[in-house]
Chain A
Amino acid sequence: MRLPRDLRGTLVIAALGSGFMLVAPEVLAFFTIITLSQVIGLAILALSLALVWGFGGILCFGQTAFFGLGAYAYAVAATNIGGSTGAIPIAILVAAAFAAVLGYFIFYGRVSDVYLAIITLTVALILYSLTRRTSGPEYKIGNALLGGFNGTTAPPLNIPGDPQAVLFPEHTFYVAMIALIAAYVFCSWLVRTHFGRVCIAIRENETRAELLAYDIRLYKLGIFMIGAALAGLGGVFFSVGVSRVTPDVFSLSQAAVAIIWVIVGGRGTLIGPVLATFALHYLTASLGTQSILNTNLVLGIVLIIFVLLVPKGVVPTLADLVELRRQRRIARLRERWLRARRPHTGR
């Protein structure tokens, strides 16, 4: 496979992210670091949706289904195995396998965009209802009680292969941050590969991609599964950050905010939705400390403002502005150059 050329921007962002990772525990409060691990989990969820929706053109309204399944699978597996080492791959595989089955029926059944959004959302909500009804000692997977709406305990991360060596919260933060950066670099690379470009082409025009002899069902299923695997990984860090998994991971509001992150950050970018997750989480956390404005009301207003005024999202809009200024500058320079030349050529 061709080594993509234009990964420089990605590497700069990855470097900035690494800088943040190293500095944050020094300057931020301990409690904030613990919260940040959860937010990183949510940011990976946003990244997965940025990939699937922004690049694959698949509006998966229920991306949280895979996020929540990853979280539950991790909690159950880690409780049973007694340690996080094997539980993380299991969480990712469960999410991807579920997406493979669901995606097979959606894409090979040629379900259209709108129905895809509704079906995935419905699946998330079904999982929400199901997990809420699992209170009682009979709902048990191995040693893990599912616990109904109270949810189940998510064991902390440990050093690979050593369940006794549990990580401290700041170390969990490091691991989560590294996972986020790695996931971001992976996605940036993926969208530049042949596979990724075909997915983008399918987003642009399905008929054309098919006529060029690409099996669009297979490509869509592929990116859908990769997105689900990432969402599952996000679920792992979210549950570790909270120390619990509750059915709320599958809730309507969770599914909706994931969409809001991508809209605000910008479809067609990867870093936009990630930054939007941090920004909006900070906003809701600050709003949570006061009681004048309802948090959901403010989120709703943010969404309306963005859809009406910044429909492309923050990052693409900023990129457009920078490009516009660059072109104006080039035009100005050219004009100046032409003016300076004129007396000579006129002689």
Chain B
Amino acid sequence: MPLLRTIAYHPRMQSSGSTTSSFPARVRGVLAVLRADGGDEYTVAAAARLAALDDAPWHAILVENAATRRQGEAARLRTLELLRRAQAQGAVTAVLDGPDAASVAAGYARRHGCATAVTARERATPWWRAPFLRRLAQAAPELDLVEVAAPAAAPPRAAAAHGAGAAGTPAPRRYLAAIGASLGTALVALPLLPLLDVANVAMLFLLTVVLVAIRLGRGPAIVATLVGFCALVVAAPRRQYDVSEFKYAVALGVMLAVGWITARLTSDLREQAESAIGREARTRALYEFARALSVALLTEQVFEITCRFLARTFDARAAILLPDDAGRLRGPVADPGSGARPPVLSVLDMAAAQWAFDHATPAGAETPTLPSNSWLYLPLLAPMRSRGVLAVRVPDVAALLVPERRELLDAFAALAAIALERVHYVDVAQDAVVRMEGERLRNSLLAALSHDLRTPLTSLVGLSESLTLSRPPLAAAQMELANALRDEARRMSTLVANLLDMARIQSGGVKLNLQWQMVEETIGSALRACRWQLGARTVDTRIPRGLPLVRFDATLLERVLCNLLENAGKYTPPDAHVTIAARVDDGMLVVGVCDDGPGLPTGREDALFEKFERGQQESSIAGVGLGLAICRAIVEAHGGRMRAFNLPDAGACFELRLPLGAPPPLPDMDSDHHDQPIDQHEH
């Protein structure tokens, strides 16, 4: 049968690619339905094999209800361990709740697109119930069903665990109490038999049975029913054996049946109520945790709340590990609120935590990765990115296997992650506000400073020039003074411009006005603006035709070139020769300003670009050494580089490199043929 099944199931006969399937609901998944009654191991193995045959996704679920709970806690833990193993083999696992396992499994299969269900053959089915497989077939007629043979020698049923822990009372005492209750009822009710009808007395016994079922569980209730039945039977012979004998027998029979069913129903009800209480407690813990986190505004608060709730809910020690900027986790920090010492994590522990963070997968205790570690490391996965790792250590590691607890822990981790992300973005928003305020303040300050410095300088330049133009003309000596005054005022104004530009660029407040520029044009305008700084020195430009357009801020690049020209004017003899050359080299536009002067101090070429660094210490040449620093700041803001070197023969060379981009298309040349007659063309 397995072979046939495999062939019939084989998805290559169906549409293979999961995205192109015309039956999206019937993908091809395999569903292993565990029932916690001994055959689950085989179910999991068979499902894994089936799924592996053609690389199908597979699921393993356990449907918990009164029936599985009757298998006892030990069987449940075994099944949960099986689920974990299935997960390690790649299965999606779930523990579901519902009175009818077949319909829950059918619903799950439909939701997850499973085409085949695998389950173990039942050893024995009560005669009044249909076998599980038939019920599953009825609930999901579209599902292929695979029944796996159960082992020949089934593990002993965990009968001893039957009803264990119902009220925390040991089993023998509960049974004794049930017997006592029934006997007590008999003592009260039997003397009333002459007065009351037998059916009414049976009702009293039934009342006792219901109470016993509620208080002590199913088994004691059945015992109480039997005791009551016996008491009535024993009481009966003293009564007449007449026509009412039949009536009596019916009453007894009905009492037995009703007692039995009541016991079952009541105990099922109580178990469901208990599991509902458990669920409610988990929900409440989550709710309280979420509420506590919702008011946290600092990372430390998130730490403290998370640790407190984990301690309260799981009796666990916890620590949150946050990554640094490079994505390396830092050790746990002390909780400033409680002053408690942070847990000490070894290098190995940190490595496991780092793994969990890097792979966004839980690691450590009871996970497939490093299961022997005493800590469990849960990555804090927030919508945008992993925010860190939650390290948890519980006293009873096995408790982490219980899916409800794991799910709760995962939910806690998710909540903490979201809280951390929220706190992070609160910080980001605050930073942005502060930065914007700072930028606004800085810009208005610089604008005011610029205005206040420039205005007197403008007056100085203008007034000193007025002197040189005054009529009658000044005497030669005075004229020289006036000229010097004017030139110094203009230098001063360049200096102020440099200072303000430096301040703007350093504070990050500069917005580059990037345009596709022709470097020849910018060199030309720089020469026009700053040629006077060179005095009588000759200037030679070597700019090949057809240089590509380069994207830069023309005003700032003009400043760079002006500063370099000013430098040449300051540090070369008056008869020096300055060359400005441009070329393309290695994907960069290279512009060099070179002279044939004394050159740079060897070994200090790079230091020249430092702020307040000057070529000649304590020299008489004006300037504070900002020029080259601002040049470098501007060029680097464009993504370029700047360097200085001495020419092999003599002289210094300053070279800036700007990255070439992809220039925009040139204007349409169609109407621009040179041999056409010149003609105004309309726009």
Q: Do A and B bind each other?
A: no
Residues of B participating in the A interface, judged by any CB pair closer than 8 Å: none
